[in-house]
Amino acid sequence: MTYDFRPVILAQLGDPPPPTRAAREAVYDQVRAEFAGILSAHDGSLERAAHALALEQTIDAIEAELHVGESWQSYDQSSPPRAQPPATTERATTPGRGKMLAAAVAVVAILLAGAWYVFSQREQPAPQRPAATRTAIDPQKDLEPAATDKARSFQEAFRTGDAGAVALLLNSGFRPTRVELRGALLQVRYTPQLKAATEPLATEIRDITCSFTTLSEVRKPLTRSSLFDAEDAFSIMKQVGQDQWRAMCASEAGKWREALAKMEQQNAQYNKPDAEKKSQTEACVRRFSTKEATDRWDQAHCLACPESHSNCEAYCPQAPKAADAEEARFFSFNRSDMSMATTTTQSAGKSRAELYCNLQYMTRPTDFDLANLQRFRDLVSLLK
């Protein structure tokens, strides 16, 4: 049974979708890249091909609906009326030739009507839809609306570069949340005037500007398998400027270099020959499918620990310490990850060790992984 790609594609397209095929194709490419990493975990090439075919067929079906203006999911426009069957002609009173002549006339009429409909549809331009507000690769796609009037005023003043209004709000005691401040930094050039006006927020701004996301903060191991995400830092660096970013983040250079080294190591794993990766996977499965390894994982993830937590020491006093880095990664594979891996890759019946080891060693890089790695390289090069 193939995966249902339609809800994912519709969510990525947005409502309304982009008006041009080229813009929508960028969204489709992103979806293909995200699922490429997921589908690579399947054992059989035929199964992967079936999923890939289902994805392309879903895209073709959506494009067909857009072309003829059909409704889909959140759209409230009605579907085009179905063609009514031709009215039943009265039975000819003359047998034989009369029946044949009536049938021939009816067939010709239907063919002419069908031809007229097809050519008239071709001549009509496709209905134009307003441009979607979300792009395929947009660092602002996760921005949340401000929660209060003052927060909205702060973001608007920041966006328009009104340093006086920003300073007035901060002097009145207003402090934006991290989410609101992040949204402001992503939308405007960080000018010297804004820098002076936001001096009370200098520590928070530096923390947002010089930090990156790790999987311990955002767990998306199947759709975003990178160790770290530099998307925000890279986007804010372009708003702040290279020199300013280098000056603000120089003290964090060691952290960035360490993260880049881990990503380069992961990328090297991605690029190993398939035979070597398969051998590593088999060795991993042999190690973590034993009863001892299973018992240790169960102790590390006792029932008191929420299923989405990877570090359960606070909930499980008897949790064992990981023997090495490999077992620590195995312990971080929590119940939620296991459920997601089973559902998304349709691997029912596989053990925890098989699910973990396949994701750890057989996953292939997505376009996001490669772009994110390049962002890390570019940012680290500024800190030299």
* pLDDT digit string, tens, across residues 234-246: 888 988 889 989 9
Both 9 and 114 in one domain: the answer is: yes
| pLDDT exceeds cutoff 60 at 22 | yes
pTM assigned to the model: 0.49
User: Among candidates 45, 60, 30, 42, which has minimal Cα distance to 3?
Assistant: 42
**Do 208 and 198 meet the contact criterion of CB atoms below 8 Å apart?**
no
Q: Which residues pair with 214 in a beta bridge?
A: 228
First to last CA, the chain: 51
The domain total for the chain is 3
| pLDDT exceeds cutoff 80 at 147 | no
Both 253 and 288 in one domain: the answer is: no
Which domain covers residue 185, as residue numbers?
151-269
Q: Confirm whether 374 is domain-assigned.
A: no
Which residue among 237, 269, 301 closes a domain?
Answer: 269
Both 321 and 251 in one domain: the answer is: no
Mean pLDDT of 148-176: 85
| pLDDT exceeds cutoff 80 at 176 | yes
Q: Confirm whether 378 is domain-assigned.
A: no
Both 6 and 132 in one domain: the answer is: yes
CA distance 162 to 306: 45
The predicted-structure confidence for 94-134, as pLDDT tens digits, reads as follows: 444 454 555 555 555 565 555 555 444 444 443 333 333 33
**pLDDT for the residue 38:** 62
- Answer with the residue of higher pLDDT: 169 or 216: 169
| pLDDT exceeds cutoff 80 at 152 | yes
Categorize the per-residue pLDDT at 42 as very low, low, confident or very high, splitting at 50, 70 and 90. low
Q: What is the DSSP letter of 252?
A: G
**pLDDT for the residue 105:** 55
Average pLDDT, the chain: 74
Both 254 and 201 in one domain: the answer is: yes
